């Protein structure tokens, strides 16, 4: 951990630094930068220096670290499983091939038990979500200072390496699932989808406004709960890791307790990161199954 206190950042500054994304965007004209200079007319596309500049960039800002790590882990997933697929044989599998086949069989059985429609997209989608979210969550087990400190030597000031602690990533995936829900609801049910929104739970036409309001709220709650649940759990876990790491700066006597706490939380967190990936996958399958059910 970077030394906090004398000659280094305070604990508060340390926590804020580790929770700040590497952000690229356009600063509006007239914005006062961290060094006291003003952004010229026409604005300035640049990396944000601190949360204030990132906030000033608004909707156009991109969290470069979250995008890079999530895309990189997605490519890693595709490469690993393609390697397994091309290397699989009729004999008894071994090593990583056996492990990958166990995951595929586990996801396939879960989809069969949960999804009651007929759609060849659902099982591959469930596998992709489970492994991809698990890999993003797994980054939480890397000590919070290792990669940021290494990249700091290269001039990269901020770096969050756990994409699932960024609501933009989790809500982006949830919106993707929501779009699929709407697509299959309209494709499978047609006008029946409109009837579901307007004639449930009360079938009398006089209750259509009430039904529409309640069903719309329930429909929109699905992607929000899906994305925010993953973000909240992973953000809280990352925060605990950062707080434990901050104990190392409290003195020599705190180093041993901090190490024990860090190890204990990391072991427990293995369950958390796996469970959160599983929940995100199962809820996606459940929501798509509901979209295929025509009442």
Active-site residue list: 225, 229, 233
Closest by CA position to 114, among listed 284, 294, 295: 284
Count CB-CB contacts under 10 A for residue 258: 19
Count CB-CB contacts under 10 A for residue 187: 11
Count CB-CB contacts under 10 A for residue 102: 11
Measured distance CA(285)–CA(109) in Å, rounded: 12
Write down the residue that tokens 């099982």 correspond to.
123
Structure tokens at 150: 């290494």
Measured distance CA(81)–CA(271) in Å, rounded: 23
Q: H helices within 88-166, ranges in order?
A: 95-114, 122-138, 146-153
Q: What are phi and psi of 272, to 5 degrees?
A: -65, -50
Contacts of 116 (CB under 8 A, 6+ apart): 289, 292, 293
Enclosing H/E stretch for 177: helix 167-189
């Amino acid at each position: 951990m970077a030394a906090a206190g004398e000659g280094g950042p305070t604990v508060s500054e340390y926590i804020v630094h580790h929770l700040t994304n590497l952000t690229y965007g356009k600063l509006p004209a007239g914005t006062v930068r961290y060094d006291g200079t003003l952004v010229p007319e026409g604005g300035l596309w640049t990396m944000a220096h601190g949360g204030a500049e990132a906030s000033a960039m608004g909707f156009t800002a991109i969290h470069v670290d979250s995008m890079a790590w999530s895309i990189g882990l997605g490519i890693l997933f595709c490469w690993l499983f393609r390697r397994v697929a091309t290397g699989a044989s009729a004999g008894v599998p071994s090593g990583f091939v056996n492990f990958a086949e166990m995951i595929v069989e586990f996801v396939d059985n879960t989809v069969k038990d949960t999804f009651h429609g007929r759609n060849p997209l659902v099982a591959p989608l469930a596998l992709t979500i489970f492994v991809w979210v698990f890999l993003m969550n797994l980054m939480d087990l890397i000590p919070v200072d290792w990669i940021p400190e290494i990249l700091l030597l290269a001039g990269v000031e901020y770096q969050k390496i756990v994409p699932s602690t960024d609501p933009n990533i989790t809500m982006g995936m949830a919106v993707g699932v929501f779009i699929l829900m709407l697509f299959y609801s309209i494709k499978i049910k047609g006008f029946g989808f409109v009837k579901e929104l307007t004639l449930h739970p009360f079938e009398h036409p006089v209750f259509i406004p009430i039904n529409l309001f309640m069903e719309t709220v329930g429909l929109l709650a699905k992607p929000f709960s899906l994305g925010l649940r993953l973000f909240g759990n992973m953000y809280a876990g990352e925060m605990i890791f950062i707080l434990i790491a901050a104990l190392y700066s409290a003195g020599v006597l705190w180093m041993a307790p901090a190490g024990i706490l860090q190890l204990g939380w990391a072991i427990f967190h293995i369950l958390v990161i796996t469970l959160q990936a599983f929940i995100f996958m199962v809820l996606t399958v459940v929501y798509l199954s509901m979209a295929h059910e025509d009442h």
